[in-house]
Structure formats: C-alpha cells, structure tokens
Amino acid sequence: MLVQCIPRPDKFLRYNSNEHPIAVQLGGSDPERMAKAAGICAAYGYDEININCGCPSPKVKEGSFGAALMLNPPGVCAIVDAMAKTVGNVPVTVKCRLGVDDHDSFEELTKFVATVSSSGVKHFIIHARKAFLDGLNPKENRNVPLLKYDWVYELARTFPGLEFSLNGGLKSIEEMREVMGEEKKLAGCMIGRVAYDNPWIVGRIDREVYGDQGCDLSRKEIALKYSEFVDKEASTCNGILIKPLIFLFAGEKDSNKYRRFLAEGSREEKYKGNPKQLIEDAIEHFSQLNPSALNKTHD
C-alpha cells in the first residue's frame, strides 16, 4: 500500500515532532518493494524501521508476509539486506511470534533468530505467543494461544549479543516491572492493547518507569491539550483521531455515556471539520455526570 501510494505518503507517515523516538512497522515479503518503502520512511526521519513477522491475519497467509515470514527465515534476511542498503544507519528490527502453527518448538524459534540476526538485526520484539494461521482469527490470536514469557527470557540468555523486548498480555505497571527484572535480561517490553483500552496507564509509566514528574496532568487537561493537537492536525472530524480518547475514563462511573457521546458525535454533521469542539463538548457532557473523574491525577 505504501509503495503504491507514493504521491501521498503523508497520509501514512506524517507525525508530530514530539513523538520521537518513533518507529514505523512495514509488512510485505518482496525485498525490493520493502526496501523502497523503507527508504520512504527513512526520509521522514523515523528512528527505527520494524519488519512485521507476527501478524496472523488471513491476508498475510495469502501474501506470505506477517507471521508467515517466520516459516521463511532466509526470505526475512533478504528483506533485511535490501532495506539496510536503503536506510543507512536507521536500525532495522523484527517483531515476531514464538512460532507458527505446528512450527512452534523452541529450537525452531532459536533457528529463526540466529538466521535473521546474521543479516544484521540486533533487536527482536517477541509477542510471547505462537500464531495460528488456520483456525483462529486475528482477535483470537491475541488471546487464545498460551503466553510463554520464559521462552523470551531464554532467548535473551541464549543470544547475549542481541536485544529482546517482550510483548503480549501485559496489563499493569507491576507486570511490566516483573518482566523487566534484571535477571530476565530483556531490553524492554511493549504494550499495545492496554494503551488503547486504558490510556490513563501511560501517565503512570512516564512517572513510575521514566521518572517524568512533569507529566502530572488531570484527565480533563489531557483531553483539552489533545483537542488543541487535533485542531491543528485534522481538517475533518476524523474518527481515528478521536479514538485515543474513547477510553480515557475507563473504569469511572458513567464513562460509557462519555464514550457514546464521542462515538456518535464523530458522525454528526455539526462536528465535521471541528473535532476540537466535539472533544470540548464531550468533556462538558461528562462533567455533568462525573465531575470528580475529570480532575483526577496520578498523585
């Protein structure tokens, strides 16, 4: 898609300068096209270019990319080699699963890592589940296969010259601290779904993991600052830009009414071209329902 849409790469690649360090993930199996896409991304100043070797959707099986690439380590090496020649010093990383279908032994996983790292990849982000290309849909693949954190820890011990980050099932700061214990030897951990389902947790990460004491904003302040950002970035009331706020009040009384206001408002004619007003009105609406939730901070 990215290579096909070269005249309009901004649609996919534009970001705010305060988002650094920022990575972009690419999916594909053709080295030449992947290298071309990587070159476009590198020109946008991305700090890392990641190859998707973990997505288990039906499309990836048909196109032999995503998790299907774990069945073809030499093919991944060819992609890495082609991309590295295009992006210069920008690191190329790999995100993958523990295995695919019946190819799910630890020996096969170590062979994949050993082969792919020989092409120059130094950092692997591991979703600590296998993937089923047959029998499970993408949503089920995020939850049904068993988590095996110990396999990721063992990879870090087996390949001390490489970096490994763990992904999958992490829902709390405490769980993140547990997997990042010094004895686990991991470079990092990745959260995805929880950042969408409960974005309020991200503020705790800034404070408790990175020691950023200057980010102690209330949820109302966060929403209004975000509305200013959206106002500058969007010419229409784009539902995608509204989504990050949908679960800002997760767990609070009447948060479902706030979510409904945003979801329905993003489709209303009066908010088209004015997403800032929609956010401000949603906050005002919620202030009538649960004012105490608006002013909560992480203190």
pLDDT in tens, 39-67: 999 999 999 999 999 999 877 767 788 99
Cα radius of gyration (the chain): 21
pLDDT score of 2 more than 70: no
d(CA 133, CA 135): 7
In the numeric block, which tokens belong to residue 197? 């389902």
Instruction: Supply the DSSP string of 124-191, one letter for each residue.
Output: EEEESS-B-SSS--HHHHTTSSPP-HHHHHHHHHH-TTSEEEEESS--SHHHHHHHT-GGG--SEEE-
The answer to whether the predicted template modeling score (pTM) of the entire model surpasses 0.75 is: yes
Of the listed 5, 41, 53, 55, which one is catalytic?
Answer: 55
Q: What tens digit of pLDDT does each residue of 84-108 get? A: 999 999 999 999 999 999 999 999 9
pLDDT value at residue 159:
98
pLDDT value at residue 252:
95
- Specify whether 237 is catalytic: no
